[in-house]
Structure 1
């Protein structure tokens, strides 16, 4: 068995050696240089080149086929490029058209907004003009009312005597005079004169607006329902046949304060003011200096020309402030 192994190895070595010798000889033959190629090559060269020459047409055919395929691919690429360019151009045109449409819509909206703003500005200007006209009219009316109040204060009549102190309206005065004229005989005696005084007192009570109430010896109206400016309150009192109130005595003032509604902002206009001369407080009813005053702790201040009253006392304020009000039926004080 061991001998067979040695024999196989030896045989393999011999075969390898022979192959190397043959290869060396072939190499020497293939690398030999030709001194006369045209005569030395001959049929041997043709035999070696002929297979290669047979491959030339096939190679040319393959090259032509490859060239045709390249041209076809190039044409396809050009077609794809044209399609892409057309698509891009179409998309660009579509987008440009959409953008243009959006711009047109935005322009229309801006024009609509501009028109609406112009209309609103015109309307606002119209309202401001109307408000200015209305405010001017109100200011003119207030100025006229102030002038009227000042004139009333300036020409306020002196207090009437106890026998003729009647607070009656113009429509009721002829009626009173008629009743007096119809009783001429009553003036002929003291008893008849006393009776006339009683009649006059009765007439005076009947001519006062029933909304007034007796506080002490005088009649007052308390406007608890509506808040008004000083001028509006004065006009309301005039329409009721009275005046914004001033006070005869401290006791009367305290009694009136007891009729007021309590509350932090429940103020009442009085007729006391210094509209005519700064610092000279007078009564709107009589035009006389107001002597009965009851200021709150921080008063008087120069906060305004008109005087308000609440359950704690008096304060000064702007005449445009809106508050309740107190009217008096007479013009004595």
Structure 2
């Protein structure tokens, strides 16, 4: 607009100078910018007024339509901004919910693991108490429960019956480690019947509870004797002896229960 006005002023000034030249009047200006500017302004004022009037007298319906478009555009932009804000808030809410669900799930899993471990510990404690009640007088030695008779002496058959009445059987030792653990609880220089014999076949020493070959034998020097009358085995100072079953000794019982 400014460029157009300047161009128009220039053209008018040029035209005025040409007119003055034609009338043989000198076109001399003491202050060209000011004088030309005032001249241009006086000439262009009616034109500018006409443009302003034309602008002010535009069709009212066109103005209304323009205003409606602007209002609608503003409204849509406002609604869009509000929707974007709601979307961001919803996404935030989803993230928070997901995080809370993860935390709750983790806490639930940890609590479940804790409760399961507590239940397992209670079951183990209950099993031990139940075993102690069931096998009153038995004590844990190694992985098994044994009863060591400390007073009464019985023959092998009677000792075997006493163990059965208590819910166990005469002991058959499984290895040297178990023998050492048991021997640490026995009285020195004392005989204790075990659940091993060769009553079925001479020289074939079997475990009474399983009916199979004894899992572990640690004979004393010169044993077994190979005598038909020495069919039952006792333990004495960590070594085993075959001896007649009708003699009365103390005895060792064991249960089928094992502490895992």
TM-score by length of 2: 0.49
Structure whose CA Rg is larger: 1
TM-score by length of 1: 0.39
